[in-house]
Amino acid sequence: MIDIKSLSRQELEELLASMGQPKFRAGQVFRWLHGGAESFDEMTNLPQALRAQLKERAALTAPQVERKQVSRLDGTTKYLWRLADGNCVESVLMSYQHGNSICVSSEVGCLMGCAFCASTLGGLVRRLSAGEILDQIIFAQKESGRKISNIVLMGIGEPLDNFDAVMRFLELVNDPDGLGIGMRHISLSTCGLADKIDKLASYRLQLTLSVSLHAPDDESRSRLMPVNRAVGVDRLMESCKNYFAVTGRRISYEYALVDGVNDRDWQADLLARRLRDIPSHVNLIGLNEVRESPLKPSRRMRAFQQRLEQQGITVTVRRRLGRDIDASCGQLRRKTLGIGEKE
């Protein structure tokens, strides 16, 4: 069966041409798909015979809401979606003054093994298709009735480990006949796969790249993020410099402060030194405690922030939305399905 929602505009045109259809049909089908149609029968402006043909050859994905939690504090809404094959992923819908933003997953589980992260506890199950990444936005919008204007690829999974599907997703979500969300309204967060950052740079997209740095020195970064053992901070920073040189886009560095691991003054100083000659922005995050992990949040947030600022670094502290609903990545999937639970 053809995964029709993952097809590019051109591939969809080719498919419909192979069925003897005129070009405008592709636009019609595209708009139905991206508007949240759940069956070909809903596509009432298509001829009956075409709908029947499509049903035979193509599969239409539509995730089901397995669980939904709404924060009483700020309205943040967390969805646990059940995919067609029974696997689950999460998305979080957040409201800001400038519009609604959604955090989407790119994989079922994650291969990267970060010590502080709930999403990686059960390992990687599989990568999502472009259509399945897109569905999280289409159906969150449909279910909530809230128009989504911003996307962060910061949910479960490592987007650059699912490179081709993510690139395809970006093209689809950008299409004015679909969701029409511009690259400047999209952020992609990576644990720092340097060669993939280089590859992404070559596309020269206007999206915002967030790099989950979490430590400026190899010893602490490798302790928190096994991926660093292969890449190393020097090599990662080279890719970040190159990314800025090629795209002109300032990188945002995520830094979750962990008690006694990455919150020392010398680490703030080293971080400032590393970022001195590239336009950058540090986003400090209070660590969300994961039950299976011994890591604790740092109490030095303010001091660390000030020390960076004194050295000319732009720093923000991430606002915590949805504190009451386990809104941070991977926690709802893990709790509902018992993933990575120790006996």
Q: How many CB atoms lie within 10 A of CB 70?
A: 15
Helix 130-144 and helix 163-174, axial crossing angle in degrees, nearest 10: 40
| Helix, strand, coil percentages, rounded to 5, for the chain | 40, 20, 40
CB of 195 to ligand SAH, least distance (A): 16
Residue 329 catalytic? Answer: yes
Neighbours of 213 (CB within 10 A): 29
Q: Which of 16, 285, 308, 327 binds ligand SAH (CB under 6 A)?
A: 285
Binding-residue pattern over the window 127 to 146 for ligand SAH, x denoting contact by CB under 6 A: --------------------
Q: Considering only residues 288, 304, 315, 340, which one is a binding residue for ligand SAH as defined by CB under 6 A? A: 288
Q: How far is CA 343 from the centre of its chain?
A: 30
Handedness of CA 236, 238, 239, 244 (dihedral sign): positive
Q: Give the type of residue at 43.
A: M
Scanning 122-130, 142-150, 187-195, 238-246 for contacts with ligand SAH by CB under 6 A, the matching segment is 187-195
CB of 107 to ligand SAH, least distance (A): 9
Which positions from 239 to 278 touch ligand SAH by CB under 6 A, shown as an x/- string? ---------------x-x----------------------
How are beta strands 280-286 and 314-317 bridged, if at all? parallel
Residue 13 binds to ligand SAH (criterion: CB under 6 A)? no
Spell out where 5-154 has E strands: 58-59, 64-70, 77-82, 88-96, 99-103, 107-109, 124-127, 148-153
Q: Does 88 bind ligand SAH (CB under 6 A)?
A: no
In whole angstroms, how close is the CB of 267 to ligand SAH at the nearest point? Answer: 16
Residue 114 vs 172, nearer CB to ligand SAH: 114
- Among 190, 239, 247, 280, which residue interacts with ligand SAH (rule: CB under 6 A)? 190
Distance between CA atoms of residues 136 and 157, nearest Å:
14
Residue from 60, 89, 117, 148 in contact with ligand SAH (CB under 6 A): 117
Q: Smallest gap, in angstroms, from Cβ of residue 177 to ligand SAH?
A: 29
Pick the closest to residue 110 from 118, 119, 99, 101 (CA basis).
119
Contact between residue 39 and residue 180 where contact means Cβ atoms under 8 Å apart:
no
Stretch that binds ligand SAH, among 73-81, 134-142, 193-201, 284-292 (CB under 6 A): 284-292
- Contact between 158 and ligand SAH by CB under 6 A: the answer reads yes
Instruction: Give whole-number Cα distances, 227 to 192, 198, 300, in Å.
Output: 8, 16, 26
| Active-site pick, 90, 132, 158, 254 | 90
Query: What positions carry a catalytic annotation?
Result: 90, 329
- Binding-site ranges for ligand SAH (CB under 6 A): 114, 116-117, 154, 158, 189-191, 212, 254, 256, 285, 287-288, 290, 328-329
